[in-house]
Amino acid sequence: MTIKIVAAATAPQGYPPADAADIASTLVAPSNFLAQLGPEYYAALLDIATVQHFGKGDFVFRAGAPGSNVYFLRSGKVKIHQLSPLGREIILWFCFSGEIFGLAEVARGGGRVVNAQACEASEVLAVPQEKFRDFLERNPRLAMLSMQVLSSRLRVLGEMFVNLVADDVSTRVAKLILRLSARYGTRVGKEVFLNIPLTHQEIADMVGTSRQTVTSVLSSLKRQGVLSIDNRRIHIESEELLNELTHGS
Amino acid sequence: MTIKIVAAATAPQGYPPADAADIASTLVAPSNFLAQLGPEYYAALLDIATVQHFGKGDFVFRAGAPGSNVYFLRSGKVKIHQLSPLGREIILWFCFSGEIFGLAEVARGGGRVVNAQACEASEVLAVPQEKFRDFLERNPRLAMLSMQVLSSRLRVLGEMFVNLVADDVSTRVAKLILRLSARYGTRVGKEVFLNIPLTHQEIADMVGTSRQTVTSVLSSLKRQGVLSIDNRRIHIESEELLNELTHGS
DNA sequence: CAGCGTCTGTCGGCCAGCCGACATCGATCC
DNA sequence: GGATCGATGTCGGCTGGCCGACAGACGCTG
């Protein structure tokens, strides 16, 4: 074991803040658990899993329930959220096809602290806690993958937290849209289509504001020609402009 | 999709919100990584680690730097924080003796997104990324332990996020104090001593407010006889009262 | 001891954004 | 077709808490 004294570091700081491209590169990869899985692992996973179906609005699990399963979303969309004491719904994130959820409480043991609710008809694989644990112990590579997923979540949540503290509402909305489009958007030339229907209320719940404020921020963005919205789906017309709104100013 | 603002309507149950005891039980255990390690693992860890020393204010690592090490705090106190674009410091958490930090970016790969800064003279074990990864792959139990740590962080951060969205400043401060005292406080009869010196600015940075507001909230709490502060160390005189302030009202 | 830097306490002006209230616009369902 | 229900827009009043400013207090250091 080497002993090393590190000199006081009042080093020049000022690393550039993460921008959309950076976020995309680090976020897209680890989020899709099933896709990262080799076919042999996938088969093994199927062996210990149960297929379950949920309709729009159904809860996969609720806060307070024992966290007895890990879930993999095969199709559909699931919303992970928490209720504030006042009954306000706070959305932590959405899960899309291929993603894992419910992992944290299984690793930690203890009950759920969040709710998982299907936003549309969804098919999930449910794997009992102990089986999944065994599975990971036998396949260390998968344990690493799980850690990556947790780490990504942690990073995203940390970023959301910082945004919430530091930015005003319009900046938060802009950043949310950029984050979502980096992960789930389809890029067509300079434009980006975000094929996820979102109500103003949901955006408000993700960003920590009131519905009315979201309405006004969005109409301001439309007026500036930054984006348009069709049938609840956001269509970014000028990503550059949107980026400017989040960075400087 | 239905967004329920008031849960009481549809939710048949209504699980009680987590209180201090609950938080303590789930948080204390997994946070102290070194203590959970058996002696044989500890020795193995020492084999691949380098001991480093940092003085008060030194950075263990900064945001933007490559995340090349995992760290274990043997003694001292380290602050994990992020800088907002405006230069505001946002404290995500403190690490105390025995805890691991810098894990998330190593698992995920990519650079640091947070800063780790020693609050007092600290001694850490630094383990290079690849070695730690090997170590985990050879010791699946430790991989599980790491996942527990990440999961706990995720839970705490989620809770902080919800607090920030839902609660006003005085509630946030009260909850912060309860959280800290659940983990790090010494209970003497009905009173709790929190042996961690905290400036108002630091509290503000954890809770997302201004320093002035923290000052006034704290003096209000003192006036109510909830707590007293001696030399920057909080002393809770009536935990019950503090709990009431966070729950109902 | 003086001098200095950091932390605490307090006050008042000011404004972002919350909240209630309503009107409209589509869907969906008899 | 009407009726119902959720999502949008828009407006104004009200206020929590931010921010600048300044005055002690406390603990270092020379």
Q: What is the pLDDT of residues A60-119, one digit of tens each?
A: 999 999 999 999 999 988 999 999 988 899 999 999 889 999 999 888 888 999 999 998
Tracing tokens 């990504």 back to the chain, one arrives at A152
Q: What is the pLDDT of residue B32?
A: 82
Question: Among B50, B69, B81, B161, which would you mutate to test the A interface (most chain A Cβ atoms within 10 Å of its Cβ)?
Answer: B161
For residue B106, what pLDDT band results from cuts at 50, 70 and 90? confident
Helix axes A211-223, A200-207, angle to 10 degrees: 110
Q: Does B47 touch chain A (CB under 8 A)?
A: yes
Residue A170 has pLDDT above 90, yes or no: yes
Chain A positions in Cβ-Cβ contact with residue B138 (cut-off 8 Å): 140
Q: What is the mean pLDDT of residues B24-39?
A: 66
A111-160 pLDDT tens trace: 999 999 998 889 999 999 999 999 999 999 899 999 999 999 999 999 99
Average pLDDT of the residues of chain B: 86
Between CA A3 and CA B125 the distance in angstroms is 10
Residues of A in contact with B11 (CB under 8 A): 62
Q: Does A35 touch chain B (CB under 8 A)?
A: no
Nucleotide nearest to A171 (CA to C1'): C16
As a residue count, chain B comes to: 249
Q: Is the dihedral of CA B62, B66, B67, B72 positive or negative?
A: negative
- Residue B230, pLDDT above cutoff 70: yes
Task: Report CB contact under 8 Å: A151, B103.
Answer: yes
- Residues of chain A in contact with residue B86, where contact means CB-CB under 8 angstroms, are 166
What are the backbone angles phi and psi of residue A208, rounded to the nearest 5°?
A: 75, 55
Q: Round and report the angstrom distance from CA (A206) to C1' (C9).
A: 36
pLDDT of B140 over the 50 cut: yes
* Nearest chain A CA: its distance from B218 CA (Å): 20
Euclidean distance between CA atoms B135 and B151, whole angstroms: 20
Q: What is the pLDDT of residue A133?
A: 93
Please report, for residues A64, A67, B238, B247, B248, the alpha-carbon distance to residue B244 in angstroms, rounded to integers and kept in the order given.
21, 28, 10, 5, 6
Cα separation values, A94 from A31, A76, A203, A228, B203, Å: 11, 11, 12, 22, 31
- From CA B178, how far away is CA B156, in angstroms rounded? 13
B143 touches chain A (CB under 8 A): yes
A209 CA to centre of own chain: 18
Identity (one letter) of the amino acid at A96? F
Q: Which pLDDT band, with edges at 50, 70 and 90, does B248 fall under?
A: low
Can you give the pLDDT at residue B18? 46
The answer to whether A215 CB is within 7 Å of strand D is yes
- pLDDT value of residue A248: 60
**Residue from the list A3, A147, A161 with its beta carbon closest to the beta carbon of B157:** A161
**Residue B44 reports pLDDT greater than 80:** yes
Q: What separation in angstroms does the CA of A240 have from each of A74, A181, A187?
A: 34, 13, 13
Q: What is the pLDDT of residue B14?
A: 35
What is the per-residue burial (b if ≥16 Cβ within 10 Å, else e) of B12-46? eeeeeebebeebbebbeebbbbbebbeeebeebbe
Nearest CA-CA partner of A232 in A212, A189, A190, A203 = A203
In chain B, whose CA is at the least distance from the CA of A160?
A: B161
Query: If you measure CA to CA, which chain A residue comes closest to B48?
Result: A1
Predicted local confidence at residue A26, as pLDDT: 41
What integer is the mean pLDDT of B93-107? Answer: 91
Longest dimension (CA), chain B: 58
pTM here?
0.89
Token couple for B10:
């549809």
Report which of B174, B184, B183, B194 is spatially closest to residue B234, judged by C-alpha positions: B194
Q: What is the pLDDT of residue A217?
A: 98
Mutate to test the interface with B, among A27, A83, A133, A203 (most CBs of B within 10 A): A83
